[in-house]
Structure 1
Amino acid sequence: MEQFADFAAAVTDSGVPAGLRRRAAHRVLDVLGNALAASTLPISRTITAVVDSWGGHPAATAVGGGRYPAPSAALVNGTLAHALDFDDTHLPSVLHPSASIVPAALAAAEVVGASGTALLDAATVGTELCVRLGMAGYDEDLRNSIFFERGQHATAICGAVGAAVAAAMLHQMDSAGISSAAGIAASMGSGLLEANRTGGTVKQIHTGWAAHAGLVAADMARAGITGPPTVLEGRFGFFQAWCGNDAHPEHVVKGLGETWDSREIHIKPYPCNHFTHAGIDAALQLRASGVQPQDIAELELGAPTAVLRTIAQPIEAKAAPSTGYAAAFSGPYTIAAALTGGDGLGVWLSDFTDQAAHDPQRRNLAATVRCVADPWCDELFPRHFPAVLRARTRDGQRHEIRIKTNRGGPDRPLSAEELGTKFRLEAQLALPHDAIEALRDAVLTLDSTGSVKEVMALIGRSDGSAG
C-alpha cells in the first residue's frame, strides 16, 4: 500500500493528464445524473431519514438538498448513485467504481474547498486503486472475479479503500497519511451479493456505505489512527482475507502511472444490471429489423456461463420479476423490455417500475426466453459482456444476432450527445430546467474553470421532483 500511497501523494502535487481529467468529469456527470434520478425513489427517503436521525455538523451537500457531515452526505449520494443500477462498470473486474469514489470525493472536496482539478485528480486516483484492487482479485483461469465467485460485492469492498485515498488526497495528506487512510478503510469495506439472486434492497446502499467508510477512514487517519503498511499483501491482509491464495497483489502497482486500468470503464446506456446489456442491444437490433413482439414464438438468450446466476436463476423469478428493481437483474425481462419499450437510449427507467414488471405483454414475452450458456460468449467474457439472441417467429423464420461488446465501453463509447441525453433525462426528474444545463456545464468545466462549490450548490436545488 505504501507504494501506491507514494504515487497518490505525488499526483496531489503534479495532477493527472488532461485526458484523464476529462474522463473523470464525464464520470462525475454520470454519477450525478444517476443520483438525481434515484432521488425520486423510496430508498432516497429511507436513507435520508437515517442520516437525519444521526444529525451532526452540516458540512456537505446531499442530492435532495440536505446538508450533513461529509460521511453522511457521501452515504446518501453514493446510495443514490447505485440505486438504479445505472452506474458505470469496469471490465473485466466487474466493479462499479464511480458510485463510491465520486460521492466520497465530492463530499471531501466541498469540505476543504478544493478546486475542480483537485477533485478530478483525487477521483481518478481513487478510481484507479479501486479497479486495480478488483483486478488483483480477478482469476484468468476462471475468467471471473474471485470476489464474485465467493459471493462478495467487490464494488463495495474495493470502493471503500479507493474512496479513502481520494478523500485523503483532497485533505492534502502525505504518503503516510494516505496509506493509513487506506489501511483503515480496508477494515471497513463489506458487501454480499445474495440480494442479486433472491431479493432485498440492501445492495442499493453498498456503494454509499463504501463512500461513507472512505471518508471516516480519512478522518481517522487525520486524527492519528494508523493502518498496517502491509494491509493489502500481508498474511492477514486484504487479499488473503477476501481472496485467499488466488489473488495477485502485485497488480495494484504494476505499471503504476504508465497504464490506467480505469480507462476500461463502461458508462451504462440502460438502467439495469450490466450483464443484461448485450442482450438488450441484440433485442433492439431485432426490433429494428422489423420483428414485432406479437411475431415471436420463441427466444433464446446465449450468455456467458458465469452471468446466468445473476440474470437467469432462478428462472421462475427472472421470467416474472416481483418488482421493477428485480426486473433490472433479469435477462428474460430486459429482452422483453427492449422489444416493447423504447424510451431514453432504448430501455429506460420507465421500463423498471413495478407496474412495468407486471405488464402481461412483457411477462408473456419474457416467458418465451430460454437462457443458455454459450461457448462463444464464454470465450469473450469478462473482458467483454457478449450475448447471442436467437429468435423464431410464428411464420417459421429464424434470426440470430451476436453482440460482442455492449454500448458504452471503450470499443463502443456513448457519444457526447448520448451522454447529454442520459444526464438531461435523469436530471429533469429532480431539478428545475434552468439548473440542469448549468449543472452540466459546471461539471464539464471542472478541469478548467468549473467550481466544486457551484456544482454542489446546484445539486442542493434538487428535491426529488421536477421543479
Structure 2
Amino acid sequence: MSTYSPAPEANPAGNPTYAADGGPTLAQQLGAFAAHVAAHGVPDDVRSSVNQRTLDVLGLCVAAHRLPTSAAAIGHVLDQGGHPQATVVGESTRVNAAQAAFANGVLAHSLDYDDTHLPSVLHPSASIVPAALAAAEHAGASGELTVRAIAVGIEVAVRLGMAGYDAELGNSVFFEHGQHATSITGAMGSSVAASMIYGLDAGGIADALGITASMAAGVIEANRTGGTVKRLHCGVAAQAGVTAAQLVRRGFTGPPTVLEGRFGFFQAWLHGQFFPTAITEDLGTAWSVPGIFFKPYPANHFTHTTVDAGRAFRERGITPEQVAKVVVGVAGSTVRTIGEPIEVKRTPETGYQAQFSGPYAFAAGLLGGGGLGTSLDDYSDTLAQDPARRELMAKVDVVADEKCNEIFPFQFPAVVTLTTADGEVLVEEVLANRGGPARPLTDDELATKFRDNVAGRLSPETAGAVSADVLDLHTATDLAAVLKPLSTFSPAVNQGESL
C-alpha cells in the first residue's frame, strides 16, 4: 500500500476550489483520500479489523430478528418492491441496494451491541458495513474493494465525529446539541464507502458528501425518555449514503464547501464550532479502525463498566440480599443517558429501556448473565420488570464522579460504591472499558459473541462457514455468495421473541 499525502496546492476533485486558503476543500481532500485507497489499499491491521467488524455486524443483524421493530423495518422494505439487487439478512427476497442498506442498518444498530469509537462516541460500523455490502452486491464488487471502502467510510465518519469533539468540553458538541452523531456522520461515511464501490472518482466522492449532508440526521431524545426510533438511525444513514452515491452516478452534484462552508454541514449542525484539523491531520497514515471498541455487552456503552463492577462484587461474594445502597459514579455527561430520570431508570418497562439504565446494568452484573458476562437474553422485557431486579435497582443512584470526568470520553469509567446491610462500604473502580485497546477481547471472545448472536438461527456448520468467509472477506470474489447463507434462518426461530 502506498501512503496518501494530501497536497495543499492540488485540486483533487477537478472542480473549482473554494477553500479560504486557495487549496482543496475538506470534502475534496476526503474524496482524494478515498480514491487513493480504492486504488492502493489499506494496511494489514486495518484490513483484519474491517473483516472482524463485518462479522460482528452480520452477527448483530441475525440476532436483531428477535425484535418486532426488525420485522417492521423489513416488512416496510418489502412493501417498496423494486429490483433484486442486494441481500437483507434473514430475508430470502432480494431488494434494491438502498433498501437493503436501510434494513441491515436498522438490524445492526437495534440491539445497541455494535462497536464504539472513543472519544467521539460513534458507532460507525452499523451504518458503514450495511451500506458497503449492499452497494458491493449491486455493483458486483470484489471483497478487497469492499474492505477498502468500509475502512475509508469508517475513517471518514470518525474524523467528522472528532471534528465535533471539544477537548475543553470533554464531550461531543453533537451530543451537547441533542444530535445523534452516529447517524449524522455515519451517513457521510456511508456515502464515501458506497461511492468507492460504485467506482466514483475523487470529485464524485466529494459530490456524494455534498448530497448526503442534506440527508444526514438524528436526534437522541429517545435515549432519555423512550421510543424505538433510534433503531432506525443507522438504517437511514446507510440508505442515505447508498442513495447519494447512486444519484452522483446519474449526474447530481454537491457543493465543494459542503463541510466548512457558511451554510455547510458544520454550520448547520454545530453552529460553526468544529475542528477541521481532526479531519485532515495524518489522513491516510493514522487509521482509527483498529482502535474502535467492540462491545462485550448488548447495552448502551456508558453502562458497561457498571456491569463489570457488578460482576466484580459478585465475585467478591456479595448477594442482592446484602445490598443496602449503591452509588454508581460515572462521567457527568453520561448521567442524563443512564441515570435520568432516575425513577425511569430504576423501573424500565422494556429490555430496550434496560439497555440505557445504570441501575439495571449494576443488577445484571451482580446477578450474572450469559455470553461474555451479560447476553441478549439478559435484556428482556420480562427481566426488566422482574420484581427482584427492581428491588435491587431501587437501591441504586447514578451520580457524577470527578475521577470519571477526568477520564471520559476516552473511556466510559465507573466508580461504584456499595454499602452492605451491615454498614460495610465497598468500592469497585472500573476505569477502562472491556473490548477496547486497554482490555481487548480475544479472538475466542469475539467468536463467542458471534456464536451467541446467531445461535438457533444458523446451524453451527453454517455459522462456522460464514465466519471463515467473512474473516477472509478481502479474498471474496462474489459478495452475494458470502451473504446468501444469511438470507434464511431456521423456521422455528425466524420470528423470535421480543427483547
Interval of TM-score (by shorter of Structure 1 and Structure 2): over 0.9
What code does the residue aligned with 2:393 have? Answer: A
The corresponding residue for 2:23 is none
Once the two structures are TM-superposed, the CA of residue 46 in structure 1 deviates from its matched residue by 0.3
Distance 2:470 2:78 in 1: 27
1:438 paired to 2:428: no
The corresponding residue for 2:121 is 94
> What are the equivalent positions in structure 2 for 1:154-233 lying under 5 Å apart?
154-233=181-260
Distance 1:341 1:48 in 2: 33
**Could you report, residue by residue, the CA deviation over 1:158-187 in whole angstroms, capped at 9, with x for unpaired residues?**
001100000000111111111111111111
Task: Note if contact 2:46-2:287 (Cα within 8 Å) is conserved in structure 1.
Answer: no
What code does the residue aligned with 1:27 have? Answer: R
Distance 1:402 1:464 in 2: 45
Task: Note if contact 1:34-1:87 (Cα within 8 Å) is conserved in structure 2.
Answer: yes
Once the two structures are TM-superposed, the CA of residue 452 in structure 1 deviates from its matched residue by 2.2
The corresponding residue for 1:402 is 429
Task: Note if contact 2:38-2:149 (Cα within 8 Å) is conserved in structure 1.
Answer: yes
Once the two structures are TM-superposed, the CA of residue 92 in structure 1 deviates from its matched residue by 0.3
Q: 1:34 aligns with which of 37, 47, 60?
A: 60
> What are the equivalent positions in structure 2 for 1:37-76 lying under 5 Å apart?
37-65=63-91, 66-76=93-103
Task: Note if contact 2:64-2:107 (Cα within 8 Å) is conserved in structure 1.
Answer: yes
What code does the residue aligned with 2:88 have? Answer: A
1:258 paired to 2:285: yes
Distance 2:438 2:463 in 1: 29
Once the two structures are TM-superposed, the CA of residue 326 in structure 1 deviates from its matched residue by 0.5
Task: Note if contact 2:327-2:417 (Cα within 8 Å) is conserved in structure 1.
Answer: yes
1:20 paired to 2:46: yes
Distance 1:100 1:449 in 2: 21
Distance 2:57 2:490 in 1: 17
The corresponding residue for 2:8 is none
The corresponding residue for 1:370 is 397
> What are the equivalent positions in structure 2 for 1:127-142 lying under 5 Å apart?
127-142=154-169
SS at match of 1:39: helix
**Could you report, residue by residue, the CA deviation over 1:69-95 in whole angstroms, capped at 9, with x for unpaired residues?**
001011110000000100110000001
Q: 2:440 aligns with which of 413, 418, 421?
A: 413
Once the two structures are TM-superposed, the CA of residue 429 in structure 1 deviates from its matched residue by 3.9
Cα 1:195/1:465, change in 2 over 3 Å: farther
SS at match of 2:112: coil
Task: Note if contact 1:442-1:450 (Cα within 8 Å) is conserved in structure 2.
Answer: no
State which drifts further: 456-465 or 244-253: 456-465
1:383 paired to 2:383: no
State which drifts further: 16-25 or 389-398: 389-398
Once the two structures are TM-superposed, the CA of residue 449 in structure 1 deviates from its matched residue by 5.3
Task: Note if contact 1:114-1:452 (Cα within 8 Å) is conserved in structure 2.
Answer: yes
Q: What are structure 2's unaligned runs of at least 5 residues?
A: 1-26, 495-499
Distance 2:116 2:109 in 1: 11
The corresponding residue for 1:337 is 364
What code does the residue aligned with 1:139 have? Answer: D
Distance 1:338 1:452 in 2: 39
What code does the residue aligned with 1:187 have? Answer: S
Distance 2:482 2:318 in 1: 44
Distance 2:492 2:216 in 1: 32
Once the two structures are TM-superposed, the CA of residue 261 in structure 1 deviates from its matched residue by 2.7
1:150 paired to 2:185: no
TM-score, structure 2 length as denominator? 0.92
1:361 paired to 2:388: yes
Q: How many residues align?
A: 467
Task: Note if contact 2:49-2:289 (Cα within 8 Å) is conserved in structure 1.
Answer: no
Once the two structures are TM-superposed, the CA of residue 411 in structure 1 deviates from its matched residue by 1.2
SS at match of 1:173: coil
Work out the percentage of aligned pairs sharing the same amino acid.
51
Distance 1:90 1:464 in 2: 36
SS at match of 2:299: coil
Distance 2:356 2:71 in 1: 23
What code does the residue aligned with 1:390 have? Answer: T
State which drifts further: 446-455 or 281-290: 446-455
Task: Note if contact 2:155-2:288 (Cα within 8 Å) is conserved in structure 1.
Answer: yes
SS at match of 2:426: strand
Once the two structures are TM-superposed, the CA of residue 450 in structure 1 deviates from its matched residue by 7.2
SS at match of 1:272: coil
Distance 2:208 2:491 in 1: 33
The corresponding residue for 1:111 is 138
Distance 1:238 1:38 in 2: 32
Task: Note if contact 2:339-2:358 (Cα within 8 Å) is conserved in structure 1.
Answer: yes
Once the two structures are TM-superposed, the CA of residue 295 in structure 1 deviates from its matched residue by 1.5
Task: Note if contact 1:63-1:463 (Cα within 8 Å) is conserved in structure 2.
Answer: no
The corresponding residue for 2:24 is none
SS at match of 1:188: coil
Task: Note if contact 1:266-1:409 (Cα within 8 Å) is conserved in structure 2.
Answer: yes
Task: Note if contact 1:283-1:339 (Cα within 8 Å) is conserved in structure 2.
Answer: yes
Distance 1:48 1:347 in 2: 27
Distance 1:283 1:291 in 2: 9
The corresponding residue for 1:8 is 34
Distance 1:58 1:453 in 2: 11
